[in-house]
A and B are shown apart, each in its own frame.
Chain A
């Protein structure tokens, strides 16, 4: 409800400024023009294909990062030796802006799909690993102790206490980081791509088609919102037992 009101107010401001002629349509086109542009992109320029390829890149790059980073973060948290060896390496990588590595990725992997997927993966992987590490490290000692006194061995404690108690936090970690994945995707598509929403933005900008640029940005926003909604709904579905969850028992 509150979100809807904010949306309406924003739309109202936008309409007033653009239809009122306060700013040249070159800089800020009207909502109507943006809508027309999106329709035209859909009808004449295969908009759905651009959206589809962008989503596919996200899924592959982010999926690959998650598959590597989640177990990595867990191992780091559970294992002191691993921490000593891998943590400095991850910290080092974390402070390199992935955008700075894009030229290298292009050189190594070409301008095809691989370089984009590697960039997304590389961009989010250290963050996912660190946040998962934090979640796992915060497993309550009392729960671990309780499991031991109930006869659990080390493996039982990992699989029956640490993993289930960490899953909601890991799910939240993924939800937060998939947003960052979009940043790296658009970056890759702007610099070197002939498809995708990022490519649409940069070509439209070259031909000064501002309505297209804003249309593409709004589409990314809507996709992000839907992704977040997906994570929220599945969170309540998977973890009805958390204090945060609104699902009933």
Chain B
């Protein structure tokens, strides 16, 4: 459903010509959970911004369900690494932000919001302002806000990158559960190999400057996945294989 064809991105920095992304091809199937793993600063965020329509590629084209992507749109939901909740809106109103832009009946809107409040375990925090939430909770709201908009694909840019390690693994488990329930198509970007292996169906290893796809790995683990999986020998070996490819 999502197709990237020969996408490249170049820009000039301090008078120098930088080739950030070179000739990248990628296709994502419906209901697939794909993780892109690359070293820090390899241009992962730039790629996601291009897919989201927040930046334009220097070359190549991107299609979503056959339609060329030119602008940002609600069919591609983006969850950022930084906390991007609107601080002046309560949790409920944050989740409602995208819905308020559409012509939905109050009843339908409330139903959708309540569904995602329940799913993210935020029922008791609906009237809180973001400043009173922990980092993990803020990211859960951000995910709920994006999903409430019913995007065709969920783009996630190291969404757990600024969380402490305990919250991080809780959030990983939360996301697998969520995926197992909703089968949302997800393109997930991270530099954490174990995170990618735990969450995704397919892991792509990216190369550094210019960014391209180095290698693809199909994740052999069955679902539902629980945290204990990370401590098995098979997981450790698989993780190692990806890590070696990343460092090569």
Q: Which residue of B lies closest to A149 (CB)?
A: B78
Asked if residues A149 and B82 are in contact (CB atoms below 8 Å), the reply is: no
Q: Collect the chain B residues with CB atoms within 8 Å of residue A161's CB.
A: 86
Question: How far is B189's CA from A223's CA once the two chains are assembled, in angstroms?
Answer: 56
Instruction: Report Cα–Cα, A142/B84, bound state, in Å.
Output: 6
Smallest CB–CB gap between A162 and chain B, Å?
A: 11
CB-based contact B54/A160 at 8 Å = no
User: Are B101 and A249 in contact, CB atoms less than 8 angstroms apart?
Assistant: no
Task: For the complex, give the distance between the alpha carbons of A8 and B196 in Å.
Answer: 64
Q: How far is the CB of A170 from chain B (nearest CB, A)?
A: 13
B87 touches A151 (CB 8 A): no
Known contacts A147-B97, A149-B74, A151-B74; is-contact A142 B82 (Cβ 8 Å): yes
Asked if A56 CB lies within 8 Å of chain B CBs, one says no
Q: Are B88 and A164 neighbours in the complex by a CB distance under 8 Å? A: yes
* Secondary structure dominating the interface of B: loop
Interface residues of B in 67-122 (CB under 8 A from A): 72-74, 76-78, 80, 82, 84, 86-89, 97-98, 101-102
A96 within 8 A of B: no
Q: Contacts A151-B73, A164-B86, A241-B88; is A146 near B129 (CB within 8 Å)?
A: no
Residues of B within 8 A of A243 (CB): 131
Q: Is B203 an interface residue (CB 8 A)?
A: no
Q: Which residues of the other chain, A, contact B132 by a CB distance below 8 angstroms?
A: 249
- Pick the contact of A145 from B54, B98, B128, B146 — CB < 8 Å? B54
Evaluate whether A148 and B54 lie within 8 angstroms (CB atoms) in the complex, with A240-B129, A243-B131 already known. yes
The reply to whether the CB of B145 lies closer than 8 angstroms to some CB of chain A is: yes
Residue of A nearest to B86 (CB): A143
B127 interface residue per 8 A CB criterion? yes
B52 at the interface (CB under 8 A from A): yes
Q: Find residues 116-145 in chain A having any chain B CB closer than 8 Å to their own CB.
A: 140, 142-143, 145
A142 to B142, CA, bound (A): 12
A242 to B97 Cα, complex, angstroms: 19
B52–chain A nearest beta-carbon distance, Å: 5
Cα separation A145 to B72 with both chains bound (whole Å): 9
Q: Closest approach, in angstroms, between the C-beta of B3 and any C-beta of chain A?
A: 19
> Does B149 sit at the interface, judged by CB under 8 A?
yes
Cβ–Cβ < 8 Å partners of A164 in chain B: 86, 88
Contact partner of A165 (CB less than 8 A), chosen from B53, B80, B88, B101, is B88
Tell me, yes or no, whether A239 is within 8 Å of chain B by CB: yes
Q: Mark B122-165, 1 if CB is under 8 A from A, else 0.
A: 00000111111000000000000110010000000000000000
Contact of B127 with A149 in the complex, beta carbons under 8 Å: no
Which of B73, B76, B84 has most chain A Cβ within 10 Å?
Answer: B84
Determine which residue in B52, B53, B72, B74 has the highest number of CB atoms from chain A within 10 A of its CB, and name it: B72
A84 within 8 A of B: no
Chain A residues with Cβ below 8 Å from B52 are 145, 149
Which of A145, A151, A241 is within 8 Å of B80, CB to CB? A145
The verdict on A156 contacting chain B, using a C-beta distance below 8 Å, is yes
Residue of A nearest to B128 (CB): A249
- Taking CB atoms, residues of chain B closer than 8 Å to A241 are 87-89, 129-131
Task: Say yes or no: is A220 at the interface (Cβ < 8 Å to chain B).
Answer: no
Q: Which of A140, A149, A150 contacts B54 (CB 8 A)?
A: A149
By a beta-carbon cutoff of 8 Å, the part of chain A in contact with chain B is: 140, 142-143, 145-152, 156, 160-161, 164-165, 167, 239-243, 249
* Between-chain CB contacts (< 8 Å), 13 pairs: A145-B78, A146-B78, A148-B72, A149-B53, A150-B98, A151-B98, A156-B101, A160-B97, A241-B89, A241-B129, A241-B130, A241-B131, A249-B132
Q: When A and B form their complex, which 8 residue pairs have the shortest distance between CB atoms, in order from nearest?
A: A151-B74, A150-B98, A148-B72, A146-B84, A149-B78, A241-B129, A142-B84, A164-B88
